[in-house]
Amino acid sequence: MKFFKNLTIGQYIHKDSIIHQLDPRIKILTTFLIIIVVFLIDKWIGFLIISAYLFIVIILSKVNPKYVLMGIKPLLFIIIFTLLIHFFTTQGEIIYTIWFFTVTKEGVYRGLFIATRLFLLIMSTSWLTLTTSPIALTDGIERLLSIFKIIRIPIPAHEIAMMMTIALRFIPTLMEETEKIMKAQIARGADFESKNIVKRIKNMIPIIIPLFINAFHRADELAIAMEARCYRGGNGRTHYRELSIKTNDRIFFIITFMFIITVFVLKFI
């Protein structure tokens, strides 16, 4: 149950900070650029620079760093699993042997490197969702995708943005539903902590079925609510708040670009 309490994906925390006031298009673009850079980094100094950048952004957002780190816990198993896979499968100089498994120097280096990359990828996306409301995120994605109209590529920008935002927004809602169902099943005697894997899988069935039913009910209610408000897609639709690039947005993008340039300069030195 702690898994669902620690899940921060799709959640938004309202704060009066510089980062919250930034244009969503700038935040989406900078996040996209940082993710690309994290994939291209091949030196530890690059990870250090990006870590410093994310640390500064989180501090400026006034979001509790402990809350941001909570988003790592649900995916900690994947990070540790990736770490161990590299430990025991990478060939090189042997530094330790456990039964028929061998830990190599190259494996430790590569495992820590990949684990750090996964950690930074999660952090790069967490600050975006924590500091950007679903409505602003939808507007930002839609405006960015509208560029394809200029080059005459028929892409339904508004519909894609709406689907992505609804999916992201419903993640914490479905997690809350799952937690409620689990508590109800535990009250009826279900055992989710059993060491018997087969038994635990069987106990998951009473959770999955009502969760799917609730998800379909919520989707149906959302569709009815949108139709009742005469929602007909993005054609001719206006916005209550028009997005505009301000001085703070330009400064933030320039600073982000300077961090990225620094990483690439150190990469080729």
Say how far residue 124 (Cα) sits from the centre of its chain: 7
Q: Model confidence at 3, in pLDDT bands (50, 70, 90)?
A: very low
Do 248 and 125 fall within a single domain? Answer: yes
Q: How far apart are CA 46 and CA 259, in angstroms?
A: 9
φ, ψ for residue 95, nearest 5 deg: -115, -15
Q: Is the pLDDT of residue 34 over 90?
A: yes
Do 62 and 165 fall within a single domain? Answer: no
Do 30 and 70 fall within a single domain? Answer: yes
Among 19-23, 75-79, 123-127, the least confident range: 75-79
Q: Is the pLDDT of residue 30 over 90?
A: yes
pLDDT of the residue at 238: 67
If you average pLDDT over residues 93-118, what whole number do you get?
80
Q: Model confidence at 174, in pLDDT bands (50, 70, 90)?
A: confident
119 occurs within a structural domain: yes
Q: Model confidence at 144, in pLDDT bands (50, 70, 90)?
A: confident
Do 126 and 224 fall within a single domain? Answer: no
Q: Regarding predicted confidence, which is higher, 199 or 110?
A: 110
pLDDT of the residue at 10: 60
Closest to 13 measured CA to CA, from 62, 60, 56? 62
Which among 28-37, 169-178, 204-213, 230-239 has the top mean pLDDT? 28-37
Q: Regarding predicted confidence, which is higher, 253 or 126?
A: 253
Indicate the number of domains in the chain.
Answer: 2
Do 25 and 123 fall within a single domain? Answer: yes
148 occurs within a structural domain: no
Q: Is the pLDDT of residue 195 over 70?
A: no
106 occurs within a structural domain: yes
139 occurs within a structural domain: no
If you average pLDDT over residues 149-163, what whole number do you get?
74
149 occurs within a structural domain: no
Do 18 and 116 fall within a single domain? Answer: yes
pLDDT of the residue at 49: 92
CB under 8 Å to 87, separation ≥6 — which residues?
103, 104, 107, 108, 111
User: What is the pLDDT of the chain when averaged over all its residues?
Assistant: 80
Which among 12-16, 137-141, 203-207, 256-260 has the top mean pLDDT? 256-260
Do 60 and 128 fall within a single domain? Answer: yes
Q: Is the pLDDT of residue 139 over 50?
A: yes
pLDDT of the residue at 32: 92
- Helix 197-228 to helix 157-187 angle (10° resolution) is 130
Q: Is the pLDDT of residue 2 over 50?
A: no
Residue 70 is which amino acid? M
Q: Is the pLDDT of residue 209 over 80?
A: yes
Q: Model confidence at 150, in pLDDT bands (50, 70, 90)?
A: confident
Query: pTM value?
Result: 0.73
Residue numbers of the domain that contains 90? 1-132+241-269
Q: Is the pLDDT of residue 92 over 70?
A: yes
